[in-house]
Amino acid sequence: MPGHGLLAGRTAVVTAAAGAGIGGATARRFLEEGARVLISDAHARRLKEHAERLAGEFGSERVAAVPCDVTDENQVRALFDTALREHGRLDVVVNNAGLGGTSSLVDMSDDQWTHVLDVTLNGTFRCTRAALRRMREAGAGVIVNNASVVGWRAQPGQAHYAAAKAGVMALTRCAALEAAEYGVRVNAVSPSLAMHPHLVKVTTPELLEELTAREAFGRYAEPWEVANVIVFLASDYSSYMTGEVVSVSDRHP
């Protein structure tokens, strides 16, 4: 969609941005709004392909890509060091990386629980910490975390994911208070049901139908609709907002 220059001249890092989900849509919307974007993902091949598509459309000087597994502290450091080295500044960070799955609590293994928490909550912590350490020196910056409605609303089979996303919400609020003294804002979006190919692969048609029926508009969100809210939170239009978790089209709980 046509941009309005809301992020003109700014440098943004977006994690888990390879593909057609919220991260990929956010990277595209940031570019449409004039930002330079460094995208990352644990899937190097998909990341390279997506970066090439965006560079072909918006110019190679505005798009860069760095593979990053957010469970690896060294890779997280390298990601943010690259942003500063390549662009000389870090204005916006979108912590989109997350991992779900479906398992009843009684059948869930320690590995299932730990892996979801490590990617979704600990990964957000690592990236938030890395971003704040660099933004603190600049005295400005914006961080937007991707939470989920299941952080508010119970859903069978989602104990690990719900716990992780509730943790992201709490992390957002605490980080916002700490970051305010150096001029950095931290907020989160809480999507309910945003459709993308990966969700179709890991969710049964019956569950998707049930979840869609719960939506206020009777349909799922498109990833770009969530990305529009992220653009708002990253822009100066939300200059007095921090520590907020913004629900994107859902009736909760």
Cα 60 from chain centroid?
23
List the domain boundaries for the chain: 11-248
Burial class (CB in 10 A: 0-12, 13-18, 19+), 189: buried
Give yes or no for a cis peptide into 253 (omega within 30° of 0).
yes
Is 161 marked active-site?
Answer: yes
Over the stretch 15-41, which tens digit does the pLDDT of each residue have? 999 988 999 999 999 999 999 999 999
Residue from 161, 182, 237, 240 carrying the catalytic annotation: 161
Enter the pTM of the model: 0.91
CATH 3.40.50.720 fits domain 11-248: yes
Over the stretch 213-236, which tens digit does the pLDDT of each residue have? 676 666 667 899 999 999 999 999
